[in-house]
Amino acid sequence: MLRDIIREYTDVYPEIIERACFVLEKKFGIQLKEIDKEEHLYILISTPESLAGILGTTKDTPKLGLLLVILGVIFMNGNRASEAILWEALRKMGLRPGMRHPLLGDLRKLLTYEFVKQKYLDYRRVPNSNPPEYEFLWGLRSYHETSKMKVLRFIAEVQKRDPRDWTAQFMEAADEALDALDAAAAEAEARAEARTRMGIGDEAVSGPWSWDDIEFELLTWDEEGDFGDPWSRIPFTFWARYHQNSRSRFPQTFTGPIVGPGATASANFAANFGAIGFFWVE
Task: Note the pLDDT of residue 59.
Answer: 58
Strand pairing category for 41-46 and 30-36: antiparallel
pLDDT tens readout for residues 118-177: 899 999 999 998 899 999 999 998 998 889 999 999 899 988 999 999 999 999 999 999
Q: Are 121 and 109 in contact (CB under 8 A)?
A: no
Q: Rounded mean pLDDT of the chain?
A: 74
Task: Note the pLDDT of residue 275.
Answer: 39
Task: Note the pLDDT of residue 247.
Answer: 39
Q: Which residues contact 2 (CB under 8 A, 6 or more apart)?
A: 10, 13
Listed residue (271, 272, 277) closest to 239, CA to CA: 277
Q: Are 279 and 273 in contact (CB under 8 A)?
A: no
Task: Note the pLDDT of residue 209.
Answer: 47
Point out the least confidently predicted range of 29-43, 67-81, 104-118, 180-194: 29-43
Task: Note the pLDDT of residue 36.
Answer: 84
Point out the least confidently predicted range of 60-64, 107-111, 114-118: 60-64
Domain edges within the chain: 1-58
Rounded distance between C-alpha atoms, residue 38 and residue 195, angstroms? 23
Task: Note the pLDDT of residue 37.
Answer: 82
Task: Note the pLDDT of residue 48.
Answer: 64
Work out the pLDDT band at 85, boundaries 50, 70, 90. very high
Looking at the DSSP bridge assignments, the partners of residue 166 are none
CATH of 1-58, one of 3.40.50.2000, 1.10.10.1200, 3.20.20.120, 3.60.150.10: 1.10.10.1200
* Burial letters 162-179, b for 16+ CB under 10 A, else e: ebeebeebbebbeeeeee
Higher pLDDT, 256 or 112: 112
Work out the pLDDT band at 50, boundaries 50, 70, 90. low
Look up the pTM and report it. Answer: 0.67
pLDDT tens readout for residues 233-256: 444 333 333 334 433 333 333 333
Work out the pLDDT band at 225, boundaries 50, 70, 90. very low
